[in-house]
């Protein structure tokens, strides 16, 4: 049989080998769950019930089991917290192992970021009393006290999403199954903190074949009236780079 890339030599143990001679760590996965609320980027936080950091906010996470992969652990945690089964939306972005990041023991955690569209599902799956969505701007500004090194972890997750928004088509994951171009544009504007021209945005999106698909229907007008917007749905071309590039510098910025 041919060589396999991932070798599983189960049972091959060197004679005299002793695992205890190596430092032991606990390994956890933490999931940064991002979503859009009122055109603003929000992150799901849970309030800690016990020490350490009792009463402080934290991102959900849990221990990796020896029998599962890191991706599976993250997927499981996401499902437990939000009831959402969307492993494809999970992206690993970093590992954290500073010696005293957890006062109890040596813990190395692996950070995953999930971008969700359905806010309702989040409330349903988690123990609602302890889970809450917070504006990312508040968190990054330090206005919310976070446990462990979760502020740094969230910051890295945001940075990851910011670049992913440019190199992948991840933007459609933020919005609902059908969406208007204004909603999609709001994702870019919120994540990047920029203003995009709606007409140019439409032109760029339209030029990318198969990224979004018109449904033929129209969304009801908002409270302020206006022409009802065309409704789109996400196309299959998901990963090979979205059509919107992050503007390098604004020249006549308002």
Partner DNA sequence: GTTGTTCTGGTCGCCATGACCAGAACCATA
Partner DNA sequence: TATGGTTCTGGTCATGGCGACCAGAACAAC
Nearest-angstrom CA–CA distance, 141 and 143: 6
Q: Does 209 bind DNA (CB under 7 A)?
A: no
Nearest-angstrom CA–CA distance, 102 and 109: 10
Q: Does 60 bind a copy of itself (CB under 8 A)?
A: yes
CA-wise closest residue to 88 among 102, 71, 109: 71
Where is 12: in which H helix or E strand?
A: none
Of residues 1 through 30, those in contact with a copy of itself by CB under 8 A are 3, 5-14, 17, 19, 22-28
When binding is defined by CB under 7 A, the residue of 87, 121, 182, 237 that contacts DNA is 182
Length of the chain, in residues? 254
Nearest-angstrom CA–CA distance, 14 and 85: 40
Q: Does 46 bind a copy of itself (CB under 8 A)?
A: yes
Judged by CB under 7 A, the number of residues near DNA is 31
> Are the C-beta atoms of residues 75 and 90 closer than 8 Å to each other?
yes
Q: Which is nearer to a copy of itself, 42 or 64 (CB)?
A: 64
Q: Does 222 bind DNA (CB under 7 A)?
A: yes
In whole angstroms, how close is the CB of 249 to DNA at the nearest point? 9
Q: Which of 80, 130, 132, 183 is catalytic?
A: 130
> Are the C-beta atoms of residues 148 and 54 closer than 8 Å to each other?
no
Q: Which amino acids are annotated catalytic?
A: 130
- Residue ranges that bind DNA, judged by CB under 7 A: 180-182, 197-200, 202-204, 206-207, 218, 220-230, 243, 245, 247, 250-253
């Amino acid at each position: 049989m041919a060589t396999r890339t991932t070798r599983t030599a189960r049972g091959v143990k060197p004679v005299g080998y002793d695992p205890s001679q190596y430092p032991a760590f606990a390994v956890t996965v933490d999931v940064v769950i991002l979503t859009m609320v009122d055109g603003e980027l929000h992150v799901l936080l849970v309030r800690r019930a016990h020490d350490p950091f009792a009463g402080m906010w934290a991102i959900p996470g849990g221990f990796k089991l020896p029998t599962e992969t890191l991706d599976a652990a993250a997927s499981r945690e996401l499902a437990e917290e939000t009831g959402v089964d969307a492993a494809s939306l999970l992206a690993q972005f970093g590992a954290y192992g500073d010696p005293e990041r957890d006062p109890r023991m040596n813990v190395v955690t692996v950070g995953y970021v999930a971008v969700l569209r359905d806010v309702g599902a989040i409330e349903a799956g988690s123990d609602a009393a302890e889970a809450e969505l917070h504006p990312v701007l508040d968190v990054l500004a330090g206005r919310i006290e976070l446990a462990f090194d979760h502020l740094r972890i969230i910051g890295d997750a945001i940075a990851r999403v910011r670049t992913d928004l440019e190199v992948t088509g991840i933007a459609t994951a933020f919005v609902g199954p059908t969406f208007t171009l204004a909603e999609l544009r709001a994702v870019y504007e919120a994540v990047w903190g920029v203003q995009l021209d709606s007409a140019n945005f439409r032109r760029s999106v339209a030029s990318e074949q198969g990224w979004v698909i018109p449904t033929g229907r129209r969304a009801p007008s908002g409270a302020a009236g206006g022409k009802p917007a065309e409704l789109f749905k996400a196309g299959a071309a998901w990963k090979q780079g979205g059509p919107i590039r992050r503007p390098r510098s604004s020249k006549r910025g308002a």
